[in-house]
């Protein structure tokens, strides 16, 4: 039977009773009034008796866990680790699954691994760099339990990203930082959907205004000749192939022999930077120049067409192509008509390919199929018609003059 007693100089009564698991429970009733304390002790004992008489094994197991936790609390030994272990045990009793409590870092790492299973290597590498920057921005919050993170803490990380500079000392473009924010939101959204967090605290995090975005333009035919002359080996052939296929840099640098259809003079390439769940394979007929530069490397490596370039990681391709541009005296930035400043990178070869086709009156839907653009809007960004093409279009208008 439940009894009450006092400890030392403590003014409140303590209750002593048998728990559902048969062990003795000692708890403070938090009252100095004997009659109230006895009533509380009897009530607790009835609750334990009810649990003891439960007909289901899970309920008895949970009762034992709760009793153990209560004892730890009374003794002042209840820690986060003990509480987490108890919750894990209860969750396993009813679901037969382990309860995973992630830190932000642990979840971001696991999320990255899950996403990498259904995407090209280049996409995974880019996202892994993005995740690393996000964790740097979060600082100590990165090792905090993800279900305890607040929107305010994520906003502080966003502010940190806004202040970051490149190796050259210039401000990191907002468009680049927005990619990192999109990864942050996507990771937290999936954590919410999987039940790891009670609410998606990353949902309110907005993108930076992209008022610093640069316009990318293509190369002229003369500039292409200079680039090919300044480059050598795999880089020279990669430039030619990019200008004649419009493939993105990652598709060029990591082009595999399995994607080369020799007899058909075609490439069958899984395009990078596609929407989640999309695995479009583009069929690209090769010009004689493109076919020759590809076959020039046959037999050098069993997997990759350009084995040396396929090993380049992070920003190495950018730096090497910048050196080729400098050697060729092709400016990285130039001014087009209207006084608009544009930049040129390896990606400009994709713009060049699209614009050359447009200036040869190749239909927009054909150009879009070759480049793999998902929308007309995206394709228009890559299409730059030369002045003569525009002039010919204007001259085709019928005259309205009576003279």
Show pLDDT as tens, one digit a residue, over the chain (403 residues).
Answer: 789 999 888 899 999 988 877 788 888 999 999 999 999 999 988 888 877 766 567 777 777 788 788 888 887 888 877 877 787 787 777 777 776 778 999 999 999 999 888 777 778 888 899 999 999 999 999 999 898 899 999 999 999 998 888 877 777 888 888 999 999 999 999 999 988 888 899 999 998 887 655 677 888 889 999 999 999 999 999 999 998 888 889 999 999 999 999 888 888 888 876 555 556 778 888 888 889 999 999 999 999 999 999 998 878 899 999 999 999 999 998 887 667 778 899 999 988 888 777 777 766 766 666 666 555 555 455 455 455 654 554 455 454 444 4
Q: Where are the beta strands (DSSP E) in 99-222?
A: 215-216
Note whether residue 206 is domain-resident. no
Same domain, 90 and 167: no
Q: Look up residue 310 and give its two tokens.
A: 């396929």
Q: What CATH number should be reported for the domain holding residue 169? A: 1.10.150
Q: Last residue of some domain: 193, 227, 246?
A: 193
Same domain, 226 and 369: yes
Same domain, 246 and 341: yes
Q: How far apart are CA 3 and CA 69, in angstroms?
A: 21
Note whether residue 205 is domain-resident. no
Q: How far apart are CA 100 and CA 403, in angstroms?
A: 83
Residue-range definition of the domain harbouring residue 337: 215-392
pLDDT value of position 306: 95
**HSE of 198 in the Cβ direction (CA atoms, 13 Å)?**
6
Q: Which residues contact 139 (CB under 8 A, 6 or more apart)?
A: 157, 160
Same domain, 22 and 120: no
Q: Last residue of some domain: 193, 227, 247?
A: 193
Note whether residue 398 is domain-resident. no
Same domain, 244 and 357: yes
Residue 93 phi, psi (nearest 5): -60, -40
Q: Look up residue 246 and give its two tokens.
A: 């419009």
Q: How many domains does the chain have?
A: 3
Q: Look up residue 321 and give its two tokens.
A: 């192509």
Same domain, 186 and 233: no
Taking the CA atoms of the chain, what radius of gyration do you get in angstroms? Answer: 33
pLDDT value of position 385: 47
Same domain, 178 and 294: no
Where are the alpha helices (H) located in 270-347, listed in sequence order? 288-295, 307-310, 316-327
CA dihedral over 241, 243, 245, 251, signed as positive or negative: positive
Q: Are 244 and 354 in contact (CB under 8 A)?
A: no
Q: Which letter, b or e, does each residue of 302-338 get, where b requires 16 or more Cβ atoms within 10 Å of its Cβ?
A: eebbbeebbebeeeebeeebeebbeebebeeeeeeee
Same domain, 342 and 276: yes
pTM for this prediction: 0.52
Q: How far apart are CA 157 and CA 144, in angstroms?
A: 14
* Nearest C-alpha neighbor of 160 from the set 144, 189, 181, 145: 181
Same domain, 356 and 226: yes
Share of the chain residues as helix, strand and coil, in percent rounded to the nearest 5: 55, 10, 35
Q: How far apart are CA 274 and CA 122, in angstroms?
A: 12
pLDDT value of position 401: 42
pLDDT value of position 399: 41
Q: Last residue of some domain: 134, 162, 193?
A: 193
Note whether residue 318 is domain-resident. yes
Note whether residue 204 is domain-resident. no
Q: How far apart are CA 279 and CA 276, in angstroms?
A: 8
Q: Which letter, b or e, does each residue of 158-190 get, where b requires 16 or more Cβ atoms within 10 Å of its Cβ?
A: beebeeeeeeeeeebebebbbbbbebbbebbeb
């Amino acid at each position: 039977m439940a009894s009450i007693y006092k400890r030392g100089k403590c003014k409140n009564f303590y209750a002593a009773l048998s728990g559902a698991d048969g062990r003795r429970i000692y708890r403070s009733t938090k009252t100095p009034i004997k009659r109230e304390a006895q009533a509380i002790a009897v009530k607790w004992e009835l609750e334990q008796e009810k649990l003891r008489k439960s007909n289901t094994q899970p309920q008895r197991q949970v009762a034992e866990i709760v009793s153990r936790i209560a004892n730890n609390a009374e003794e002042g030994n209840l820690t986060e680790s003990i509480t987490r272990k108890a919750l894990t045990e209860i969750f396993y009793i009813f679901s037969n699954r382990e309860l995973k409590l992630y830190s932000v870092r642990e979840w971001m790492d696991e999320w990255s691994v899950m996403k990498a299973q259904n995407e090209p290597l280049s996409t995974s590498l880019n996202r892994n760099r993005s995740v690393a920057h996000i964790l740097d921005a979060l600082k100590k919050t990165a090792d905090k339990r993800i279900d305890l993170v607040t929107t305010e803490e994520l906003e502080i990380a966003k502010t940190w990203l806004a202040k970051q500079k490149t190796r050259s000392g210039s401000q990191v473009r907002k468009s680049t930082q927005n990619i990192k924010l999109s990864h942050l939101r996507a990771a937290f959204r999936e954590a919410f959907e999987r039940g790891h967090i009670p609410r998606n605290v990353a949902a309110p995090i907005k993108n930076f205004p992209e008022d610093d975005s640069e316009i990318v333009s293509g190369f002229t035919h003369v500039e292409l000749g200079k680039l090919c002359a300044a480059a050598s080996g795999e880089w020279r052939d990669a430039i030619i192939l990019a200008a004649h296929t419009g493939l993105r840099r990652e598709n060029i640098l990591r082009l595999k022999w399995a994607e080369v259809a020799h007899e058909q003079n075609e490439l069958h390439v899984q395009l990078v930077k596609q929407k989640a769940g999309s695995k479009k394979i583009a069929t690209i007929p090769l010009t004689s120049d493109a076919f020759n530069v590809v076959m020039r490397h046959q037999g050098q490596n069993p997997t990759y067409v350009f084995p040396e370039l396929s090993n380049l990681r992070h920003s190495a391709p950018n730096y090497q192509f910048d050196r080729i541009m400098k050697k060729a005296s092709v400016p990285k930035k130039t001014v087009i008509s209207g006084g608009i400043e544009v930049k040129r990178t390896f990606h400009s070869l994709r713009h060049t390919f699209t614009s050359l086709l447009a200036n040869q009156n190749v239909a927009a839907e054909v150009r879009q199929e070759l480049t793999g653009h998902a929308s007309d809007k995206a394709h228009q960004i890559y299409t730059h018609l030369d002045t003569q093409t525009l002039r010919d279009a204007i001259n085709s208008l019928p005259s309205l003059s009576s003279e």
